[in-house]
């Protein structure tokens, strides 16, 4: 059995998403503007990367201490197929609470999975 290739997301894009979330809520807290309709949840794009289906799966190294995870790909999508993996960073009042990974083939989402609170 071959070793899995764990694809990595761009740390700069992840940090930029986290910074945007922190700044968004820091401004509101500093201004003492409380919006009772805002539950504090905010999801920001953390970037997309090109990946390849290998051994019926796509393996990613997820940020925020979540670690390595392999996503099962339906057997109708053959090994070697080019795909795209995208990451959303989930926050509550600017603090990271989880991630959502989305894998698409030919522009169609084939799998989504959340980790933590999203």
Residues 7-41 pLDDT 10s: 999 999 999 999 999 998 887 665 566 677 778 88
Q: What is the pTM of this model?
A: 0.86
Predicted local confidence at residue 39, as pLDDT: 82
For residue 17, give both structure tokens.
């998403």
pLDDT in tens, 65-110: 999 999 999 999 999 999 999 999 999 988 999 999 999 999 999 9
- What is the Cα Rg of the chain in Å? 16
Inform me whether the pLDDT recorded for 3 exceeds 80. no
Predicted local confidence at residue 50, as pLDDT: 97
Q: Which of 59, 65, 40 is nearest to 101 (CA)?
A: 59
């Amino acid at each position: 059995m071959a070793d899995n290739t764990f694809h990595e997301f761009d740390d700069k894009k992840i940090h930029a998403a986290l910074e945007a979330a922190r700044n968004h809520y820091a401004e509101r807290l500093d201004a003492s503007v409380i919006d009772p309709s805002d539950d504090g949840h905010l999801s920001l794009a953390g970037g997309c990367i090109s990946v390849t289906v290998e051994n019926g799966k796509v393996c990613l190294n997820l940020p925020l201490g979540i670690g390595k995870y392999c996503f099962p790909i339906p057997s109708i999508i053959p090994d070697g197929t080019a795909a795209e993996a995208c990451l959303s960073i989930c926050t509550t009042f600017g603090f990271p609470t989880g991630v959502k990974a989305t894998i698409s083939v030919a522009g169609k989402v084939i799998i989504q999975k959340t980790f933590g609170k999203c």
